[in-house]
Homo-oligomer: A and B are copies of this chain.
Amino acid sequence: MTILGIDPGTARIGWSVIGGTVHSPTPYACGLVTTPKEDGKEARLTILFDSITAIIKKYTPDVASIEDLFFATNAKTAISVGEARGVILLACAKTGLPVVSYTPLAIKRTITGNGQADKKQVEKMIVQILKLKTAPKPDDVCDACAIALTHLYTNTY
């Protein structure tokens, strides 16, 4: 099973493609989609949709694993993050890719054993699990690896 992990956001969207098995997960690719702040909202959503669609077509994953968001600093931020998440979900739907969602708590608990783990603990586990020399950078990409691995370990799909 090949899993596309996505850490949704508005300006920086981390992604990872991880395959293999629970006992031997294999990182195939990872990266960061960025949308220029100076562009209008519609242009940024278009870049995001087209980028995620291209990643899906290139790596043909079996399932997308996306962080579920239930809170934000305020409603305006929540709506902006929702707009970005909406076009990511649409890119998956339009390419026929099933989507599963995990809460930040479930992701941290699955990867580190502790739902309240900090970024450093998550990074350390990602390095260990994927047998890397250093953690993927920036944080958004490391988080996308954690999100993909959460599905590999949970596999509710």
- The reply to whether A80 and B82 contact each other, CB–CB distance below 8 Å, is yes
Number of copies: 2
User: Closest chain B residue to A85 by CB distance?
Assistant: B83
Which residues of B are found within 8 Å of A78, using beta-carbon distances?
Answer: 72, 75, 78-79, 82
Q: Which of B85, B90, B92, B94 is in CB contact (< 8 Å) with A79?
A: B85
- The reply to whether B89 and A83 contact each other, CB–CB distance below 8 Å, is yes
Which residues of B are found within 8 Å of A71, using beta-carbon distances?
Answer: 75
User: Closest chain B residue to A70 by CB distance?
Assistant: B76
Q: Separation in Å of the A2 CB from the closest CB of chain B?
A: 19
Q: Separation in Å of the A139 CB from the closest CB of chain B?
A: 21
User: Closest chain B residue to A83 by CB distance?
Assistant: B86
- The reply to whether B76 and A79 contact each other, CB–CB distance below 8 Å, is no
Q: Separation in Å of the A33 CB from the closest CB of chain B?
A: 15
User: Closest chain B residue to A69 by CB distance?
Assistant: B79
Asked whether A99 is an interface residue with its Cβ less than 8 Å from the other chain, the reply is: yes
Docked complex Cα distance between A93 and B94 (Å): 16
- Most B-side CB within 10 Å, residue of A75, A79, A90: A79
- The reply to whether B82 and A46 contact each other, CB–CB distance below 8 Å, is no
- The reply to whether A90 and B49 contact each other, CB–CB distance below 8 Å, is yes
- The reply to whether A42 and B82 contact each other, CB–CB distance below 8 Å, is no
- The chain A residues found within 8 Å of chain B, CB to CB, are 41-43, 45-46, 49, 69-72, 75-76, 78-87, 89-90, 92-94, 99
Q: List 11 A-B contacts (CB under 8 A).
A: A42-B89, A45-B93, A46-B93, A69-B75, A70-B75, A70-B76, A79-B85, A82-B86, A83-B89, A86-B87, A86-B90
